[in-house]
Copies of this chain bind each other. A is one copy, B any other.
Amino acid sequence: MKDLISLCQDAKRTKYIMNRLDSKAKKDALLKCADALINNKDVIIAANEKDYKAGIEKGMKEGLLDRLKLNDDRIEGMADGLRQVANLPDPVGICLEERIIEKGLKLRKVTVPLGVIGIIYESRPNVTSDAFGLCFKSGNSVVLKGGSDAINSNKAVTDILRKTLDDCGIDPDVLQLIESTDRETTKEFMKMKEYIDVLIPRGSAGLIRSVVEEALIPVIETGSGNCHIFVDESADIDMALDIIYNAKTQRIGVCNSMESLVVHRNIMDKLLPAMKERLASKNVKYRADKDSISLIPGAEAAEDVDFATEYLDYMMSVKTVDNIDEAISHINKYSTNHSESIITSNKENADKFLREIDSACVYVNASTRFSDGNVFGLGAEIGISTQRLHARGPMGLKELTTYKYNIEGTGQVRD
């Protein structure tokens, strides 16, 4: 097992190898990696079974075990993911701006890879190939630190991908896995600013918070979604019910599902009882403020913390407001700045909401569930950024690049 420093140094070294790969080399290698996953299904499944058994023995919860599990279908899904990314346009080397500046110097602003990306994630072995595919296509070297419960699966997947890269004549160190499973190594890794350019944590709010607190490397925060729907007084009630039903119940465990309803006082009498009826089949539970609680029989009283909670469950908070300004300031206060939606027939309020809500994705009369890299036309997604620097909302290949200025002259000096 390579020590952490050597591993990070190797990653930095391969950054310059990645710079030399052209679009065709990257595409061909990714297609071969997809084939290799399929051809080595048995090896992956055998390794995954070790992890799965160990998980059962240590009493992992069913949801976590399900995410850990790999089978034929899931491995085919991983291979398909790599093929899809392989066939996307190369995001590197695109000229963003071009102009003649002082003394005839020719300036071009072109996209380049971010460099070396560190991905810290939980025990979901499919992330291993997904994250590699996106980083590789965008010209980045990648160092993966997956959850320790998936270590055998991650090693198997990484070994297969690295061998395939090697067969393609590409230095396999463009993809590396940190095999040590102790927390100290992860902490040390997050301080390797000299070698790693960006950290992207993928997983629970707790994981992300700990990375932000420990890391010296710049971090892109993803995935935390306390999403709101505001039903304005002029809303079409049926539309509001359809959207709430979809945003709350279609998939409860995802970051773009609704966690909190904000309702205008003048429409709550009509909306809330109808909503309770509509969501009854899903057995949704409510934490309602004092003005709305009597309209939702069975609701518990909301405490302040409820408005800041991402339930990821059949549970939602309900907040009453007197006007759109109060709705906007409530949402801006409690939101994680992921996705929010207004349901309204009032164009002025819709525009105000779009302008003043401080979130990555702001909707008018639509479900928050659309916040997704594929839906937004990015082709693929490494996560949904909830921070402000670099990238906001769904992050695709382009968001894994930065840029540089190339300036060509004929001997110019500055006056």
Contact between chains at B358 and A411 (CB < 8 Å): no
Q: Is the CB of A218 within 8 A of B219?
A: yes
Interface residues of A in 386-415 (CB under 8 A from B): 387-390, 392-393, 402-414
Is A61 in the interface zone, CB < 8 Å from B? no
A359 to B110, CA, bound (A): 12
User: Can you name the residue of chain B whose Cβ is closest to the Cβ of A328?
Assistant: B16
Which among A83-91, A173-181, A239-247 touches the partner chain?
A: A239-247
Bitwise interface map of A from 216 to 250 toward B, beta carbon under 8 Å scored 1, else 0: 10111000000000000000100100110111001
Once A216-B212, A362-B405, A404-B359 are accepted as A-B contacts, the answer to whether A411 and B236 lie under 8 Å apart by CB is: yes
Query: Does A402 lie within 8 Å of B388, measured CB to CB?
Result: yes
Asked if A186 is at the interface of the complex by the 8 Å CB criterion, the answer is: no
Whether B361 and A405, one on each chain, are in contact in the complex, defined by CB atoms closer than 8 angstroms, is: yes
A365 touching B411, Cβ below 8 Å: yes
Of the candidates A198, A366, A390, the one having the most CB atoms from chain B within 10 angstroms of its own CB is A366
A101-117: which residues lie under 8 A (CB-CB) from chain B?
101-102, 105, 107, 112, 114-115
- Counting chain A residues whose Cβ lies within 8 A of the other chain, the interface size class is 35 or more
Select which of B355, B402, B406 is within 8 A of A362 by beta carbon: B406
Q: Chain A at the B interface: mostly helix, strand, loop or mixed?
A: mixed
- CB of A99 closer than 8 Å to a CB of B: yes
Q: Which of B197, B218, B366, B375 contacts A409 (CB 8 A)?
A: B366
Task: Give complex CA distance A366, B268 in Å.
Answer: 67
8 Å CB interface, A70-91 against B? none
Bound form: Cα–Cα A42–B67 in Å: 68
Q: In chain B, what residue has the closest Cβ to A215?
A: B216
Expressed in whole angstroms, the Cα–Cα distance for A363 and B105 within the complex equals 10
Residues on B with C-beta less than 8 A from A367 are 412-414
Given contacts A364-B406, A366-B408, A389-B402, 15 further A-B contacts (CB under 8 A): A16-B332, A19-B355, A101-B370, A107-B376, A198-B388, A198-B389, A218-B218, A218-B219, A243-B411, A250-B414, A360-B405, A365-B409, A366-B407, A367-B414, A393-B405
A-B contact list, 16 entries, CB within 8 Å: A16-B329, A16-B358, A19-B358, A101-B377, A107-B377, A112-B358, A114-B388, A198-B389, A350-B408, A365-B411, A366-B411, A367-B414, A369-B414, A371-B405, A375-B414, A389-B402
By Cβ-Cβ distance, the 9 closest A-B pairs, closest first, are A366-B409, A246-B413, A369-B414, A239-B411, A390-B390, A389-B390, A366-B412, A367-B413, A364-B408
